[in-house]
Structure 1
Amino acid sequence: MAISDPLALQVLAIAKQAGDKIMEIYDRDFAIYEKQDTSPLTEADLAAHNTIVAGLEAISELPILSEESADISWDERKTWNQYWLVDPLDGTKEFIKKNGEFTVNIALIDGGKPVMGVVYAPVLKKSYIGIVGEGAWTETVDGINAITAKPHQPGEVWKVVGSRSHQSPEIKNLLDQLDGDTELVAMGSSLKLCLVAEGAAHLYPRLGPTSEWDTGAAHAVALAAGADVTVLDAADPLNSDAEPLTYNQEESVLNPYFLVSA
């Protein structure tokens, strides 16, 4: 199994380079940092951001919107049709806790829709690559494998991606509407969307704040794997006519609530 798209392979290489920069800092003893120093999180974020921006600028002339350079005016952004959407380090709690569930995220957005995405988890040494219309894959030390979202089958336990901690009333309302037993699958960062993409979960309802760079890359992977990512109405969470989640359509870079479903 091989990924033949040269641009996707270049972006994957850039994400891994950024991951290497993060790991140099992640492997240090955080206790050695003095208060006046930059935090290890800030240092890792900026190192990854700089690596990604340099890498993308070497292969593309498209504009870049990154969490670390998000102060681009709406007047400028609204003229963009294609651009790179980057979160150099998603999963700050996971990074600080050192549980390994943080990611590097690079997405190509075209006409408000994610068309290609790479999600790289440096500690797990696992990459997710999605090219909408072509397919989605994981890459690990064991090689590259195609992935597809798996719809829920009658009689199956619903596997729902959720928080390790508190479940909101809105999430409980959604779970109550499902026909059958449910099992919560906990995961950090953008890997939550990837669980649905690779068939490890059926649903990921997000009823909390996220920004566009948090989701763009994994959204592309989910779409490429055959999943849907739709705007979620807390009052009617399983609405089959929900609108698809889109990007760069207004000044705010905050996402509405959304549902990832197989």
Structure 2
Amino acid sequence: MINKICNLARNAGAAIMSIYYSNELVDISYKLDKSPVTSADKIADKVIKDGLYTIAPNIAILSEESVKNIQYVKNLSTYWLIDPLDGTKEFLKKNGEFTVNISLIEHGIPILGVIYAPYFNILYFAFKKQAWKISPSGYKKKISVVQSNIPRFIVSRSHPNKKLYDFINKTENKKYTIKKLGSSLKFCYIAEGKAQYYPRFGTTYIWDTAAGHAIVTAAGGSVLTYHEKMNLNYCLLSRKSLKNPDFIVSS
């Protein structure tokens, strides 16, 4: 099944890129939280849902673009959690740092994760506690986290804040580097050893993190809440909100 999901992510990515390279104006609307939604989000959402219904018709789907069916999914122990276009702001900025995210949740834990970056044609996936990367040339390699004496912090390109930099400045290791990056590619950088820490303070939702969470943990890293130092939990019955608490991703 993992190969089918990877192909599905590529198909959604192709649909996104057809709009990315189009000369036509992108249709943009805004949600209540003022986050943008484009025609690319909606088309990718449809591609993924149609594909998942074919691959696993008995598993319910929760998508960023269709949270209204939360009551149906809430009581289920297994469900698909997808973000058809993670990094819409980066998509609109034309910097390529956006992804397709597909994850499978079982008893509150992401057991499968696929992240595809269509602009770069790079695919990451995790299943059965192993994480992999497929390069643009098609080369597939197993990935794992890497420690460093001079750690690299990955921070959100579009959502920086004072609390984030206060946290970084308090790190025990006074030598470090910082890289700004968009979308769930930040998780992937941790998973493949290009960075060691991704602190996130501010609003994120479960569909923003689930696929990356699966890939990082399969690669040997962790995704822990900032205050309680517990794994992010995707069990809908035990959550008061679809928003995540502050968290730290680390190698």
1:173-184 to 2 correspondences below 5 Å? 173-175=166-168, 176-184=170-178
Letter in 1 for 2:156: S
Alignment partner of 1:72: what SS? helix
8 Å Cα contact 1:132-1:220 kept in structure 2: no
Residue 6 (structure 2) aligned to one of 7, 12, 18: 12
After superposition, what is the alpha-carbon deviation per residue over 1:112-170, rounded to whole angstroms, capped at 9, x for unaligned? 0101100000010000011142x101111231111001123xxx212001134785332
Report the CA distance between 1:173 and its aligned residue. Answer: 2.9
**CA shift digits 1:10-66 (9 cap, x unpaired):** 10010001011111111012xx43xxx833952111110000001000011100000
The residue aligned with 1:199 is 193
Which has more radius of gyration? 1
Structure 1 gaps of 5+ residues are 1-6, 234-240
Matched, 1:138 2:127: no
Equivalent residues of 1:132, 1:223 under 8 A apart:
no
Shift of 1:81: 0.5
| Residue correspondences, number | 239
Q: TM-score, normalised by structure 2?
A: 0.90
| 1:213-252 matched pairs, under 5 angstroms | 213-233=207-227, 242-247=229-234, 248=236, 249-252=238-241
- Gaps of at least 5 residues in structure 2 are 30-36
The one of 238, 244, 249 equivalent to 1:255 is: 244
Residues 166, 244 of structure 1: alpha-carbon distance in 2 compared, 3 angstrom cutoff: closer
Tell me how far apart the structure 2 counterparts of residues 70 and 165 of structure 1 sit (CA, whole Å).
23
Query: Is the contact made by 2:62 and 2:70 (CA closer than 8 Å) also made in structure 1?
Result: no
Counterpart in the other structure of 1:64: 61
- The letter of the residue matching 1:224 is A
Instruction: After TM superposition, list the pairs within 5 Å mapping 1:38-117 onto structure 2.
Output: 38-39=27-28, 42-60=38-56, 61-74=58-71, 76-117=72-113
Letter in 1 for 2:81: L
Q: CA RMSD in A?
A: 1.8
**What percentage of residue pairs aligned between the two structures are identical?**
39
- Distance, in Å, in 2 between the alignment partners of 1:166 and 1:138 is 26
Aligned equivalent of 1:237: none
2:150–2:173 CA contact under 8 A, matched in 1: no
Paired position in structure 1 for 2:34: none
Quick one: distance in 2 between partners of 1:180 and 1:25? 44
SS for the counterpart of 1:229 is: strand
Instruction: Indicate the SS of the match to 1:162.
Output: strand
Instruction: Go from structure 1 to structure 2 and tell me whether the alpha carbon gap of 1:55 and 1:167 turns closer, same or farther (over 3 Å shift).
Output: closer
**1:164–1:107 distance in 2 versus 1, CA, 3 Å:** closer
Deviates more, 1:64-73 or 1:107-116: 64-73
Gap change, CA 1:8 and 1:166, over 3 Å in 2:
closer
- Aligned partners of 1:132, 1:256: CA distance in 2, in Å? 26
